[in-house]
Structure 1
Amino acid sequence: MRVKLKGINTVRYPAADGSTVTYYYHRATGRRLQGEPGTAEFQASFEEAGRASSQERGAGTVSWLIRQYCDSLQWKKLAESTRAIGTLNLKAAEAKWGTTPLKHVENPRSRPLFLRWHDSLAETQPRAADNKLAALARVFSWGYDRGHVTHNPIATFERAYGNSRAELIWLPEHVTAFEAAAGPEIELALLLALHTGQRQGDLLRLPWSAYDGHAITMRQGKGGRKVWIPATIALRDALGTAPRRATTMLTKADGVAWSKSAFHHAWKATFAKAGISDDLHFHDLRGTAVTMLSEAGCTPQEIATITGHTLASVNKILEVYLARTKALAQSAIVKLDAHCRNAR
């Protein structure tokens, strides 16, 4: 069946032999379409012109730059969950700034305008305000690297949300209380997090095939980094006795793999049952694993190869956490005593 396409201009020209030649053009872009109406070639040519029209729509504006960024490799290589959150933040930024010409963005005097928008959002939602401005800043940074803008007016800004979780760590008493309240399925999740330092999403997807009896090999969802994690004795014992009821290591009691929401509710219920007063999250186990590895004598470089953090991130975590751990304080004094004895 022939489909009538809208947005086509038909132009007829007389040929030298007296006949009439007909050309077809895409109305929005002025592109000449190839083939004859009703053919696959014509349809493909029309669709290609439509895509070009979409890309050219609003060229030179913030909306256009956001579309270019979301079509880039840098955006596509992000984890799906990261893109989902980023999309919401970019939609909010586009609703406010979409029609703004890029020539206005790259003017240094535009910075106060963006900061005032951030401040107005921060009055009621400081964390959301930070995320929205940070998402827009990433787009401008990407555009600067590729020559679309000559200046990023919000390359740096003071964040409104000051509540950092950097000081929060699972202490031995927290772990003991949680284990006492947890069923075997949740307890295995706790052990995997503590002994691998991986994110919740990666652990929920972790298949048994990633474990060879000695180490876990996996590719992280965020950043795609491949890590090789030798299993501790405690982790080997736990995995050796855990039932293999599905392709994934972590499952519900009925053997069905966890959904993100189901695991969240089960973890939250266990935490409440444990009666832990501190505001600790699953993600805090990742930083806790970094400190455990450091206390065991691992260097930042060794820690980074296991947890998948960048070296800079490991050092930042250690700066905050390790100043508060008694084990390292005691170790430092022992080393100082030894140095003093040798110096006599």
Structure 2
Amino acid sequence: MMRKPPKYCQGFLDRHGRSRWYFRRPGFDRVALPGLPWSPEFMAAYEAATKGGVQTEGAGAAKTSPGTVAALVVSYYRSAEFLNLKPITQRTYRSTIEPFREQHGDKTVAKLKREHVKAIIAKLADRPAVANNRLKTIKILMRHAVETGMRPDDPTLGIRKLRTGSSGYRTWTEAEIQKYYDKHPTGSRARLALDLMLYTGQRRADVVRMGLQHLRDGVLTLRQSKTGTEVEIPLHPVLRASLDALPKKNMTFLLTEYGKPFAVAGFGNWFRDRVTEAGLPDGLSAHGLRKAACRRLAEAGCTGPQIMAISGHKNLKEVQTYIQAADRLGLAREALKRQLAADEERTKIVKPAGQV
């Protein structure tokens, strides 16, 4: 007998014969769910949907006045553009849209002017990354407002992002990786977590889904949850050793202390504690290991397409920075080698003629 799907979940077969599942809670917007009911990826998205759903009907709609920012947000959540996003991207968008709706939901969309947008961004100037995310949010909503006729123009056109002075998440160094290894030996969940990220170069949302079902003939095959890109990654011997130390009774590689698959946010918090246990500084994240994986590949002489085949990046520009950094390091080492040879030549003591 087939197990019933979780509450508020509905599915159907599309015209290609593929299963499509959605979370449809009365009074809330629809959320697409990946995979099949009760699978780890399905349940992680289901958990997020039950906690993060946004009201679009009933009581929520009754409080939303037509033409306001709140009404625009509701309209955007119902749009094909939003519903066709991957669940992980939907959650990311919500996390920036909801604070904006909370602060400006009662304001009229048609009256929003360029100077208003600039003032909103200016208030966040001390946090440029937050300011840029807020600007991105407003741009998305204003584009939807124009498309739906809520206003004739886009007041965000030409407004530039703030300089952050940061390259994003910090890349782990080799010394930091070794220090983590010294604390967490092979066979521990903490060691496996780092090896999965470092030797696959995947995002934490995909790492927590990895399991025996993705492994065949020494190759890890996975469709990325954010981009839909399918990657095929031959197992590195270090990662193979970590996996071989695991009991084979569970499909998912990484499990909580209760034997359940990690939620993405929960894994981030758990991994941060393991980093702290190793005596490493704040600021080292799971995403920093994805960058370290790309750095290592570049330093090994891999080309952009070769790195992209592992990491799943779709834009060559994103991986080119690692290649350029590796090239600079190689050139610097070659320069030092030549300098030392020249120094040795200059300091060589020439013995006087006839001296034995």
Q: TM-score range by the shorter chain?
A: 0.5 to 0.7
Query: 1:75 is matched with which residue: 68, 77, 82?
Result: 82
2:99 corresponding residue in structure 1: 92
- Residue 148 of structure 1 and its aligned partner are, at CA, apart by 6.0
Aligned ranges for residues 265-280 of structure 1 at < 5 Å?
Answer: 265-277=269-281, 279-280=283-284
Query: 1:215 is matched with which residue: 212, 219, 239?
Result: 219
Distance 2:254 2:284 in 1: 21
Q: Which amino acid aligns with 2:114?
A: R
Distance 1:265 1:75 in 2: 28
1:337 corresponding residue in structure 2: none
Distance 1:165 1:234 in 2: 29
- Residue 246 of structure 1 and its aligned partner are, at CA, apart by 1.6
Query: 1:186 is matched with which residue: 185, 190, 195?
Result: 190
Query: 1:229 is matched with which residue: 225, 228, 233?
Result: 233
1:171 corresponding residue in structure 2: 173
RMSD: 3.5
Q: Cα–Cα, structure 1 residues 254 and 139, in superposed 2: closer, same or farther, change >3 Å? A: closer
Query: 1:201 is matched with which residue: 187, 205, 225?
Result: 205
Distance 1:279 1:62 in 2: 35
2:135 corresponding residue in structure 1: 133
Distance 2:134 2:279 in 1: 35
- Residue 263 of structure 1 and its aligned partner are, at CA, apart by 3.3
Question: Contact between 2:303 and 2:323, CA under 8 Å: does it hold in 1?
Answer: no
Distance 1:307 1:221 in 2: 13
SS of corresponding position for 1:205: coil
1:111 to 2:118 alignment: no
Distance 1:298 1:114 in 2: 43
Question: Contact between 2:171 and 2:284, CA under 8 Å: does it hold in 1?
Answer: yes
SS of corresponding position for 2:220: strand
Q: Cα–Cα, structure 1 residues 136 and 167, in superposed 2: closer, same or farther, change >3 Å? A: closer
Normalising by the residue count of structure 2, what TM-score does the alignment of the two structures yield? 0.65
How many residue pairs get matched? 276
Aligned ranges for residues 46-65 of structure 1 at < 5 Å?
Answer: 60-65=67-72
Distance 1:231 1:310 in 2: 22
- Residue 166 of structure 1 and its aligned partner are, at CA, apart by 4.0
Higher mean alpha-carbon deviation, 253-262 vs 241-250, is at 253-262
Distance 1:221 1:249 in 2: 17
Q: Which amino acid aligns with 1:151?
A: D
Distance 1:201 1:83 in 2: 13
Distance 2:231 2:183 in 1: 31
Normalising by the residue count of structure 1, what TM-score does the alignment of the two structures yield? 0.67
- Residue 129 of structure 1 and its aligned partner are, at CA, apart by 3.7
- Residue 319 of structure 1 and its aligned partner are, at CA, apart by 6.9
- Residue 71 of structure 1 and its aligned partner are, at CA, apart by 1.4
Distance 2:272 2:65 in 1: 46
SS of corresponding position for 2:262: coil
CA deviation map 1:246-289 (0-9, x unaligned): 22011246644334455344423332232234732111111111
- Residue 66 of structure 1 and its aligned partner are, at CA, apart by 2.5
Question: Contact between 1:290 and 1:314, CA under 8 Å: does it hold in 2?
Answer: no
Q: Which has the larger radius of gyration?
A: 1
Name structure 2 gaps, 5 residues minimum: 1-56, 338-356
Q: Which amino acid aligns with 2:301?
A: G
SS of corresponding position for 2:216: coil
- Residue 317 of structure 1 and its aligned partner are, at CA, apart by 3.9
Q: Which amino acid aligns with 1:70?
A: Y
- Residue 230 of structure 1 and its aligned partner are, at CA, apart by 2.2
1:32 corresponding residue in structure 2: none
From the two aligned structures, give the one with the greater helix fraction: 1
Q: Cα–Cα, structure 1 residues 103 and 252, in superposed 2: closer, same or farther, change >3 Å? A: closer
- Residue 132 of structure 1 and its aligned partner are, at CA, apart by 2.7
Quick one: percent identity of the two aligned structures? 25
CA deviation map 1:109-166 (0-9, x unaligned): x21111112222445x554443233212122234456776553222454545725244
Name structure 1 gaps, 5 residues minimum: 1-49, 335-344
Distance 1:165 1:177 in 2: 24
Q: Cα–Cα, structure 1 residues 257 and 103, in superposed 2: closer, same or farther, change >3 Å? A: closer
CA deviation map 1:48-96 (0-9, x unaligned): xx99xx69x7555544433332112332233434433432432332344
